[in-house]
Amino acid sequence: MSRSHLPLVLAALVASSAYAEGTPATTTPPPPLPDGASLSSMIDAVAAVRELKLAKRPPIVFLDDAAYSAACAADLHAKAADFVAAPGWHGPSVEALPPPPETCSQALAFYDPHGRRVVIRRSSYERDPKKQHLVITHELGHAIINFALPPPP
CB atoms within 10 A of CB 101: 8
Question: Would you tell me the crossing angle of helices 39-49 and 133-148 to the nearest 10 degrees?
Answer: 60
Spatial contact of 109 and 121, defined as CB atoms under 8 Å apart: yes
pLDDT, averaged across the chain: 75
The whole-angstrom separation of Cα 96 and Cα 80 is: 11
pLDDT of residue 82: 84
Q: What is Dmax (Cα atoms) for the chain?
A: 50
Mean pLDDT of 133-141: 87
Mean pLDDT of 104-130: 87
Instruction: Kindly tell me if the per-residue pLDDT of 5 is higher than 60.
Output: no
For 149, the 3-state DSSP assignment is coil
pTM, 2 dp: 0.71
The whole-angstrom separation of Cα 65 and Cα 123 is: 7
111 membership: H or E segment, kind and range: strand 109-112
- Transcribe 84-105 into DSSP letters: HHSTT--S--GGGSPPPTTHHH
Mean pLDDT of 101-128: 85
